[in-house]
Amino acid sequence: MTQPRFNRAENSGAQRILHVPRRFVADEWGGTETVVLEISREQQRAGWQPEILTTIALADNPSESIGGIPVRRFGYFYPYFGLSTSDKYALDKKGGSAVSLGLFSALMRAKDVRLFHLHTMARLGGQVRTAARLRKKPYVLSLHGGAYDTLASELKTMSDPTSGKFEWGKALGAVFGSRRVLGDADYIICVGQGEFEAAREKIPHDRVSALPNGVDPKKFQHGDGAAFRRKHNIPADAFVILCLSRVDEQKNQLALVEALARLRATRSDAVLVLIGPETMPEYAARIRKVAAEKNLSASVRLLPGLRTDDADLVNAYHACDVFALPSLHEPFGIVVLEAWSARRPVVVSRVGGLKTLVREGETGFFSDPGAADAAAVLAEKLARLAAQPELRQTVGDAGWKEVQAHYTWSAVNEKLETIYAVAERHVKDKR
């Protein structure tokens, strides 16, 4: 498909780009939050006025600035009878499909809107879809792995809080066209190649493409790994494996605990550092329990998730010798780009977007999370890197070059502008 370049003259006066994720909280940070913030910052530098409109889930402030981008939050509800406080909290943490009439009103009233950029689907997605159609504005939908690249087991986990509860919100979904969010989108962006291939087969239009996530290499290029080790009582000469991701079954951190138990037979100084918000507290409890059973409690550190402006976020990468991401599925894996920016080698699962992001033996190494010998293979890859410092440096340097060549946010945003232009032209042609 030929993609026209954006012409600013066609959008005179329409400067605001409204990003709508499900939630947006600095203390519950993940890959989607990073993408939304960094894209917004690039757009701001280019002269646009990006804003983030979302629910007040897990947040205290109805409005604040994060990274220089204004964030506005609105009240919301889950349309089910019988939800407990813990059920609502679980939905806030992961997968909740909320309704926010205040957010819909803000979308309808916002002035000088160029475009809506949606980062979720379901009911909130339907509200954005409806506002865009009523206002004859384009909306672009980014799929961050929730449509075609989610395991059945994870879908079950996300729906568990509503199991057995009476849903009274189906009429709302019908009014807002929640089931038509994909088909009516003026453009769909897939962050991973696997989801793109599935979307291309199922979505009834050709306005869909893969657009990888990016990274700010300079942010992660330099850090104080020694300070991070001292702060968390990690020996200076320890072999440190880092996994920075939400603590969740999808991320499969238990595989790293199993691999660490094997690795310590030859590297008794090996330490595993897990950093991330505990979106599944029961899974975090299992990690602690298994670590204790294997006498690894002192060698497995679970640390809370870090804000995007926390210096420890960068320092953690420089404190590790290897970065590992053993996910059961992974739409993209933005943390891999961050590790590469710190020149760290990576060991990742051969799943989802990671399959095309990493090149075996060149920019990283693969393990198969579904294999019977998964823990043994993962331990073998880690042991090889532990035994060969020069290999760690070579692979880390290759990752750094990969980031510089393909994954800067400026390069991503340049492609995004082309996508916006297609969406704008599509709406214009429909009038």
Instruction: Give the CATH number of the domain where residue 382 resides.
Output: 3.40.50.2000
Question: How long is the chain?
Answer: 431
- Quick one: pLDDT at residue 9? 41
Q: 31 in a domain, yes or no?
A: yes
Asked if 272 and 300 count as a contact pair (C-beta separation under 8 A), the reply is yes
pLDDT tens for residues 334-362? Answer: 999 999 999 999 999 999 889 999 999 99
Report the relative pairing of strands 187-190 and 166-167 from DSSP bridges: unpaired
Looking at the structure of the chain, the number of domains it has is 2
Q: 198 in a domain, yes or no?
A: yes
pLDDT tens for residues 213-240? Answer: 999 999 999 999 999 999 999 999 999 9
Q: Is 21 exposed, middle or buried (0-12, 13-18, 19+ CB in 10 A)?
A: buried
| pLDDT at residue 48 tops 50 | yes
Report the predicted TM-score, pTM, of the whole model to 2 decimal places: 0.83
- Residue with tokens 């400067």, as numbered in its chain: 15
68, 189: one domain: yes
305, 165: one domain: no
155, 227: one domain: no
Asked if 144 and 121 count as a contact pair (C-beta separation under 8 A), the reply is no
227, 370: one domain: yes
What Å distances lie between residue 327 and 128, 165, 366, 384, CA to CA?
A: 31, 30, 11, 20
Q: 3 in a domain, yes or no?
A: no
- Quick one: pLDDT at residue 156? 59
Q: 137 in a domain, yes or no?
A: yes
| pLDDT at residue 13 tops 90 | no
The 3-class secondary structure across the chain, one letter per residue, is: CCCCCCCHHHHCCCCEEEEECCCCCCCCCCHHHHHHHHHHHHHHHCCCEEEEEEECCCCCCCEEEECCEEEEEECCECCEECCCHHHHHHHHHCCCCCECHHHHHHHHHCCCEEEEEECCCHHHHHHHHHHHHHHCCCEEEEECCCCCCCCHHHHHHHHHHHCCCEECCHHHHHHHCHHHHHHHCCEEEECCHHHHHHHHHHCCCCCEEECCCCECHHHHHCCCHHHHHHHCCCCCCCEEEEEECCCCHHHCHHHHHHHHHHHCCCCCCEEEEEECCCCCHHHHHHHHHHHHHCCCCCCEEEECCCCCCCHHHHHHHHHCCEEEECCCCCCCCHHHHHHHHCCCCEEEECCCCHHHHCCECCCEEEECCCCCCHHHHHHHHHHHHHHCHHHHHHHHHHHHHHHHHHCEHHHHHHHHHHHHHHHHHHHHHHC
pLDDT tens for residues 277-308? Answer: 998 999 999 999 999 999 999 999 999 988 88
- Quick one: pLDDT at residue 4? 40
* 7-16, 256-265, 297-306: range with lowest mean pLDDT: 7-16
Q: 1 in a domain, yes or no?
A: no
What's the CA dihedral at 323, 326, 330, 334 to 10 degrees? -10
Asked if 29 and 305 count as a contact pair (C-beta separation under 8 A), the reply is yes
* Section 4-30 average pLDDT: 76
pLDDT band with cut points at 50, 70 and 90 for residue 431: confident
158, 248: one domain: no
273, 372: one domain: yes
When comparing pLDDT for 270 and 206, which is higher? Answer: 270
260, 160: one domain: no
| pLDDT at residue 193 tops 90 | no
* Section 121-132 average pLDDT: 96
pLDDT tens for residues 136-155? Answer: 999 999 998 766 766 555 55
Report the relative pairing of strands 365-367 and 346-349 from DSSP bridges: parallel
Instruction: Name, in order, each residue with C-beta under 8 angstroms of 203's C-beta and a sequence gap of 6 or more.
Output: 182, 183, 188
β-strand partners of 54? 73
302, 284: one domain: yes
Residue ranges making up the domain that contains 385: 217-406
d(CA 58, CA 250): 21
Half-sphere CA count of 124, side-chain side, radius 13 A: 31
Q: 57 in a domain, yes or no?
A: yes
Q: 2 in a domain, yes or no?
A: no
210, 228: one domain: no
- Quick one: pLDDT at residue 89? 92
45, 107: one domain: yes
Asked if 140 and 421 count as a contact pair (C-beta separation under 8 A), the reply is no
| pLDDT at residue 61 tops 70 | yes
Q: 371 in a domain, yes or no?
A: yes
- Quick one: pLDDT at residue 151? 55
Instruction: Name, in order, each residue with C-beta under 8 angstroms of 208's C-beta and a sequence gap of 6 or more.
Output: 187, 188, 189, 190, 196, 199, 200
- Quick one: pLDDT at residue 6? 45
418, 352: one domain: no
174, 66: one domain: yes
